[in-house]
Amino acid sequence: MPSGGAALEVDGVSVSYGKFVAVESVTFSVGAGECVAVIGPNGHGKSSLVTAIAGLVRRGGTVRVFGEALPVGNPRAAVLAGLVLVPERRHLYPELTTRDNIMLGSYSRTRRLRARQAWDDVSGVIDMFPELGRLLDQKAGTLSGGQQQMVALARAMAAAPRILLLDEPCLGLAEAVARRVYDWLREMTATDMTILLVEENPAHAILVADRVVRMYKGLVGRPEVTSP
Amino acid sequence: MSEFLNLLAAGLTSGAIYGIFGACLAVWFRVCNVLNLAVGDFAMLGAIGTARLVQTDHLPFAAGVLVVLAAVGLIAWIFDRIVLHIAFDRGSGAHGIVGVFFYTFGLSLILEGAARAVFGTDPYSAPAIWPGPALAIADFHVQRAGVLVFALAVVSGLILWAYLRFTVSGRAASACGESVTGSRIVGIDSALFRRRIFIVTAALAALFGIVESPLTGFTYLSGPTISLIGVVAAGFAAFRKPGRAVVAGLAIGVAEAMLGGYVSTTYNDVLLYAVLFGIIILRPEVLGLSAEPA
Amino acid sequence: MSEPAAADRGTIDSSAATGPAAAAASSAGPPAAPGPAARHVRRRDPVPLAATVAITVLGGLVLTALNGSYLGLTVTTGVAYAVVTVGMVLQLGYSRQLAFSQSVFMGVGAYGTGVLETKYGFSSLESLLAVIALAAVASLLMGAVVTRAPGLALALATLLLPLFVYQLAADSGWLGSFSGIDGVLPFWNGPDYESTLVRSGIISVLLLGLAAGLVLRVMRSGVGLQLMAMASDERLGESIGVSLRQRRLEVFVLGSVLAAVGGAVLVSAQGLVTPDVLSETSEITLLLMLFVAGRKSVIGAILGAIVIEYLTTSTSFISTNIGIIEGIALLVILLVEPDGVAGAVARLLGRRTDRWADSLRSWSAGRFRAGGGGDGARNAA
């Protein structure tokens, strides 16, 4: 739920791949505790925008997290500032177990030497995804798409985020699994978690978003408030 | 019986080298999906460099070893910062299976050429760390350097295994090789892991060269063949498991020694390579790869 | 949800693909069958034959001009390597079949020729045909097994091949041990050494021309497209009907046979074969010739082989420091231009031809407008 003050400020952010401009001078903000959905057709810069915010690709412009500017192209700084991305296509570590995949979400913050101890520190995230409890020793590459998405979400939560970026969290998932993901997201929106959600399907987005930002050809329109 | 034990000891000694090179290869491949075909050349530089500094330039042994290890580490750092950084961090250059082999192949050529220019073509042996006659128990003899090499291989293999198995850093290193994007998302600097592990494994290979060279001597050409057997040992560990690579290397060394002792001293290497060739072609699943159905 | 405000560039296009234009298209009948004039006419591709002729003629002229000098021998040796690298273009460059067995088959060709001529009295032509057959059978048998192995396994296994084959050759008294076999006949004898060198060199460039023509023919055919598909994604290739096993085997056999022909050319030029021809050093040299010059270019492979062979024997500085030079050259190529010198040239030429094409289009568009195009202009657009 929104609680006032900007958690995330995106100011004049641009992303180019060679001569191709994927995102052009995008400006908007996300209030603390707010859920904002970025919607738009495929290939119009939504994923480029969030990966740039998360520091995975170089960008022009400024990104501020609770008032502090993030350095360009430095995902570790973003994570330490509390901004965590759940990427499109998940990018798990297929040969590592579910437990290790989740534990590594806390990599930037942990001071632990031993993996077991680091896991013990974050094992509480499993309470949000009880279906993963019996899969902890299974290699992530052998899980189903829906299970992998749960692991990706759990990994993100293990990083103790203040701002969650989700890029198409239901891409390629069955309807039942997508509903499960959105049920979890709704629970998150009831907390003070700030969420920026990229979603191609507007019907999904309005289930959880307080506001919607449309992107088209790398540009955003005026943000709109969704109906409750 | 004594002949068998002596062959076994010789095989375990040479196998320890293959094994630890295999372990170094496996660990680094796990981090960045590139084979270090120059690992044998780092060993060669360790052996020849130390021999030269200590025997020709009369540096104290410990100082000579430290200088050589630092030099090898520096070479590895420079190569990573220039070549691998451009290739993998900037995304330029050849990738895929070409990238797996040929960057470090180029490094191997340079190191060989440089070693020839600087040190010449003569064989070199570093001074023994544990000098003295071979250890003897009844008819069983084993060189002291051989004991050191074997012990060092076992210890190093255990450390590398434990690092990957039990530590957060080891898990993060593995994650780098499995998904660069997934690693960056959680703040793992895959380039830093690649660089550090390259430097550590290069220095480890150099150390092994120093310890082993009193037994066999090294020339500027010694690197590639032991690199290749190390690659095979790493392959039998699916390019992922340093402990298994050490075991595979030991098995290859023992097989080489037994073939030499009981079959033919002239053709033992030929037979060994032919056997390895056959195993890889006919049973690629031992490398963690699946063959096409017949 | 309210309609969005329009951005400076681009608004949400609410007219969907099922608009009036699409409706009009769907209401039209099925397309009419093509008339006789529109039937596809299969034209013979002139490039492979032209390449064969050009290489043979040019190479013959060059060698004639060199008149049996040491440089002529160097060029002929380079031609021998070029026959091998042309096969490697197809095998490693085009199909990305990472098999490091070319030096071994080069040795099969060289030793086969040496043995057949010196021990069994075969003529040059007979021994050439025999080693081609021998290499074809050997590579077929080996390839049927080795090409089942996935990429990394094949690369590893074939890296081991030169190690034990070299040892076998070096230890074999019948093959002359380290001294090898000498007294091998040139392809075409002349009245003196110089003319023999020129004549044999002409046969060598003819063989090179044929090899290049054959490889180009494959690359420019439907089979070449299948090889490209396989190289980029084997699963995708298989899903569109490419027979992976068959193509892999064909590429392996063709590359190996050409390597054997290269070995026959080499030994005929030098009159001597030693175990060095099938060592890992020889394989390294071949790889460098391919990568530095351009692993996907036939012309690049030919020029690279000849130029690098010349450079390695030209000055003592280069031959002494060849390892360092080769290593640096390989790294620079891999980082800057993975398609080698030929790739860089092709890109530069391509940019230039793009500019020329743009200029030509602008000029011709201007001519149409100046000529009052009317319907003609609409049709041209």
Binned at pLDDT 50, 70 and 90, residue A157 comes out as very high
Chain B environment of A105 (Cβ under 8 Å): 186
Residue of A nearest to C7 (CA): A221
Q: Is residue C304 scored above 60 in pLDDT?
A: yes
Concatenating the DSSP letter of every residue in B184-226 gives HHTT--HHHHHHHHHHHHHHHHHHHHHHHHHHH-B-TTHHHHH
**Residues of chain C that touch chain A, judged by Cβ-Cβ distance less than 8 Å:** 1-2, 4-12
Enumerate residues 6+ apart whose C-beta is below 8 A from B156: B20, B23, B204, B246
Q: Is residue C68 scored above 70 in pLDDT?
A: yes
Chain A environment of B240 (Cβ under 8 Å): 95
Q: How far is A160 from chain C (nearest CA, A)?
A: 34
Chain B environment of C336 (Cβ under 8 Å): 92-93
- Put simply, whether A212 touches C (Cβ < 8 Å) is yes
Q: Which two tokens stand for residue C259?
A: 């390597």
pLDDT for residue C24? 43
* B181 contacts A112? CB cut-off 8 A: no
HSE of C228 in the Cβ direction (CA atoms, 13 Å)? Answer: 9
Residues of C143-165 as b/e, b for ≥16 C-beta within 10 angstroms?
Answer: beebbbbbbbbbbbbbbbbbbbb
* B182 contacts A114? CB cut-off 8 A: no
pLDDT for residue B62? 93
Q: Is residue C381 scored above 50 in pLDDT?
A: no
Weakest-pLDDT range from C243-252, C309-318, C332-341: C309-318
> Using CA atoms, how far apart are residues C350 and C358, in angstroms rounded to an integer?
12
Weakest-pLDDT range from B54-63, B150-159, C306-315: C306-315
Q: How far is B119 from chain A (nearest CA, A)?
A: 43
What is the tens place of the pLDDT at every residue in C254-284?
999 999 999 999 999 999 999 999 888 888 8
Q: Is residue B46 scored above 90 in pLDDT?
A: yes
- Put simply, whether A206 touches C (Cβ < 8 Å) is yes
Q: Which amino acid is at C80?
A: A
- Specify whether the CB–CB gap between A212 and A37 falls below 8 A: yes
Centroid of chain to Cα C357: 28
Q: Is residue B205 scored above 60 in pLDDT?
A: yes
Concatenating the DSSP letter of every residue in C287-356 gives HHHHHHH-TT-HHHHHHHHHHHHHHHHH-HHHHHTHHHHHHHHHHHHHHH-TTHHHHHHHHHHHHHHHHH
* A159 contacts B168? CB cut-off 8 A: no
Q: Is residue C376 scored above 60 in pLDDT?
A: no
In chain B, where does DSSP find H-type helix? 2-32, 39-51, 61-79, 96-119, 144-166, 168-178, 180-185, 190-216, 222-235, 242-262, 268-282
Q: Is residue B188 scored above 80 in pLDDT?
A: yes
pLDDT for residue C367? 61
* B269 contacts C163? CB cut-off 8 A: yes
Q: Is residue A134 scored above 50 in pLDDT?
A: yes
Weakest-pLDDT range from A126-130, B282-286, C52-56: B282-286
Q: CA distances (Å), C70 to each of C45, C57, C75, C134, C313, in order?
A: 38, 21, 9, 32, 11
* DSSP reduced 3-state for C40: coil
Q: Is residue C12 scored above 60 in pLDDT?
A: no
**Among positive and negative, which fits the CA dihedral C97, C102, C108, C110?**
positive
**Angle, vertex CA C317, rays to CA C296 and CA C324, nearest 5:** 50
Q: Is residue C373 scored above 80 in pLDDT?
A: no
- Specify whether the CB–CB gap between C82 and C62 falls below 8 A: no
B residues 72..131 contacting A (CB < 8 A): none
Chain B environment of C151 (Cβ under 8 Å): 97
**Could you tell me which of C81, C65, C72, C10 has the C-alpha nearest to residue C308?**
C81
What is the tens place of the pLDDT at every residue in B126-150?
888 888 888 887 777 788 888 999 9
Binned at pLDDT 50, 70 and 90, residue C19 comes out as very low
Concatenating the DSSP letter of every residue in B244-285 gives HHHHHHHHHHHHHHHHHHHT-TTTHHHHHHHHHHHHHHH-GG
The residue of C96, C159, C292 whose CB has the most chain B CBs within 10 angstroms, and thus the best one to mutate to test that interface, is C159
**Angle, vertex CA B195, rays to CA B193 and CA B198, nearest 5:** 105
**Model ipTM over 0.95:** no
Binned at pLDDT 50, 70 and 90, residue C368 comes out as low
Q: How far is B275 from chain A (nearest CA, A)?
A: 30
Q: Is residue C28 scored above 50 in pLDDT?
A: no
B neighbour chains, 3+ CB pairs within 8 Å: A, C
What is the tens place of the pLDDT at every residue in A37-79?
999 888 888 999 999 999 999 999 999 999 999 999 899 999 9
What is the tens place of the pLDDT at every residue in C131-147?
999 999 999 998 988 88
Lookup result for tokens 């296009």: C13
For helices C222-232 and C244-270, the axis angle rounded to 10 degrees is 110
pLDDT for residue B291? 55
Closest CB from B174, B179, B186 relative to A159? B186
- Put simply, whether A216 touches C (Cβ < 8 Å) is yes
The residue of A21, A215, A217 whose CB has the most chain C CBs within 10 angstroms, and thus the best one to mutate to test that interface, is A217
- Specify whether the CB–CB gap between A9 and A29 falls below 8 A: yes
Count of Cβ atoms closer than 10 Å to residue C35 Cβ:
7
What domains appear along chain A, each with residue ranges and CATH number? Answer: 1-82+161-228 (3.40.50.300), 94-159 (no CATH)
pLDDT for residue B150? 92
Closest CB from A219, A222, A224 relative to C1? A224
Chain C environment of A206 (Cβ under 8 Å): 1
**Could you tell me which of A148, A132, A161, A171 has the C-alpha nearest to residue A92?**
A148
Weakest-pLDDT range from B227-231, C19-23, C80-84, C184-188: C19-23
- What is the pTM for the complete model shown? 0.85
Q: Is residue C353 scored above 80 in pLDDT?
A: no
* DSSP reduced 3-state for C162: helix
For helices C124-146 and C102-120, the axis angle rounded to 10 degrees is 140
- Span C296-310, average pLDDT: 91
Q: Is residue C225 scored above 90 in pLDDT?
A: no
* C321 contacts B273? CB cut-off 8 A: no
Q: Which amino acid is at C76?
A: T
Residue of A nearest to C6 (CA): A221
Q: What is the CA radius of gyration of chain C?
A: 27
Q: How far is B183 from chain A (nearest CA, A)?
A: 8
Task: Between A130 and C367, name the one with better pLDDT.
Answer: A130
Closest CB from A104, A106, A115 relative to B166? A115
Q: CA distances (Å), B12 to each of A85, A187, B125, B154, in order?
A: 49, 60, 20, 11
Q: Which helix (H) or strand (E) holds C168?
A: helix C151-171
HSE of C298 in the Cβ direction (CA atoms, 13 Å)? Answer: 21
Binned at pLDDT 50, 70 and 90, residue A226 comes out as low
- Specify whether the CB–CB gap between B208 and B154 falls below 8 A: no
Q: Is residue B156 scored above 60 in pLDDT?
A: yes
Q: Is residue C101 scored above 50 in pLDDT?
A: yes
Please state, for a pLDDT cut of 90, what percent of chain B lies above it. Answer: 62
* B166 contacts A95? CB cut-off 8 A: no
Size of interface B-C (CB pairs under 8 A): 138
Pairing verdict, β A35-39 and A211-216: parallel
What is the tens place of the pLDDT at every residue in A198-210?
988 888 888 889 9
Weakest-pLDDT range from B71-80, B262-271, C97-106, C182-191: B262-271
Weakest-pLDDT range from B142-146, B156-160, B214-218, C316-320: C316-320
Q: Is residue A132 scored above 90 in pLDDT?
A: yes
What is the tens place of the pLDDT at every residue in A136-146?
999 999 999 99
Task: Between B202 and A202, name the one with better pLDDT.
Answer: B202
Residue of A nearest to B177 (CA): A93
pLDDT for residue B52? 93
Q: Is residue A211 scored above 70 in pLDDT?
A: yes
- Specify whether the CB–CB gap between A173 and A145 falls below 8 A: yes
* A224 contacts C7? CB cut-off 8 A: no
Strand boundaries in chain A, DSSP class E: 6-17, 20-31, 35-39, 60-65, 68-69, 83-86, 163-167, 194-199, 211-216, 219-220, 224-225
Chain A environment of C7 (Cβ under 8 Å): 216, 219-221
- Mean pLDDT highest for which of B90-99, C83-92, C155-164? C83-92
Q: Is residue C83 scored above 80 in pLDDT?
A: yes
Chain A environment of C8 (Cβ under 8 Å): 219
- Specify whether the CB–CB gap between C263 and C204 falls below 8 A: no
- Put simply, whether B69 touches A (Cβ < 8 Å) is no
Q: Is residue C21 scored above 50 in pLDDT?
A: no
* A116 contacts B166? CB cut-off 8 A: yes
- Put simply, whether A222 touches C (Cβ < 8 Å) is yes
* C171 contacts B292? CB cut-off 8 A: no
* A202 contacts C1? CB cut-off 8 A: yes
Q: CA distances (Å), C272 to each of C42, C76, C115, C266, C278, in order?
A: 47, 14, 11, 9, 13
- Span C56-60, average pLDDT: 93
Task: Between C106 and B226, name the one with better pLDDT.
Answer: C106
Q: How far is C16 from chain A (nearest CA, A)?
A: 13
C neighbour chains, 3+ CB pairs within 8 Å: A, B
Q: How far is A216 from chain C (nearest CA, A)?
A: 7
Q: Which two tokens stand for residue B70?
A: 């630092």
Q: How far is B65 from chain C (nearest CA, A)?
A: 25
Weakest-pLDDT range from A137-151, B110-124, C32-46, C366-380: C366-380
Q: Is residue C325 scored above 80 in pLDDT?
A: yes
What is the tens place of the pLDDT at every residue in C212-222?
999 999 989 88
Chain C environment of B89 (Cβ under 8 Å): none
Chain B environment of A166 (Cβ under 8 Å): none
Binned at pLDDT 50, 70 and 90, residue A3 comes out as low
- Mean pLDDT highest for which of B181-195, B251-265, C9-23? B181-195
> Using CA atoms, how far apart are residues B76 and B201, in angstroms rounded to an integer?
9
Q: How far is C127 from chain B (nearest CA, A)?
A: 28
What domains appear along chain B, each with residue ranges and CATH number? Answer: 2-287 (1.10.3470)
pLDDT for residue C4? 37
> Using CA atoms, how far apart are residues C300 and B286, in angstroms rounded to an integer?
38
Total count of residues recorded for chain C = 381
Q: pLDDT averaged over chain A?
A: 90
Binned at pLDDT 50, 70 and 90, residue C157 comes out as confident
Q: How far is C344 from chain A (nearest CA, A)?
A: 19
Residue of A nearest to C11 (CA): A216
Binned at pLDDT 50, 70 and 90, residue C375 comes out as very low
Concatenating the DSSP letter of every residue in C72-112 gives HHHHHHHHHHHHHHHHHIIIIIIS------HHHHHHHHHHH
Binned at pLDDT 50, 70 and 90, residue A223 comes out as low
Chain B environment of A114 (Cβ under 8 Å): 166-168
Q: CA distances (Å), C233 to each of A77, B103, B255, B290, C334, in order?
A: 37, 23, 38, 17, 21
- Span B263-274, average pLDDT: 82
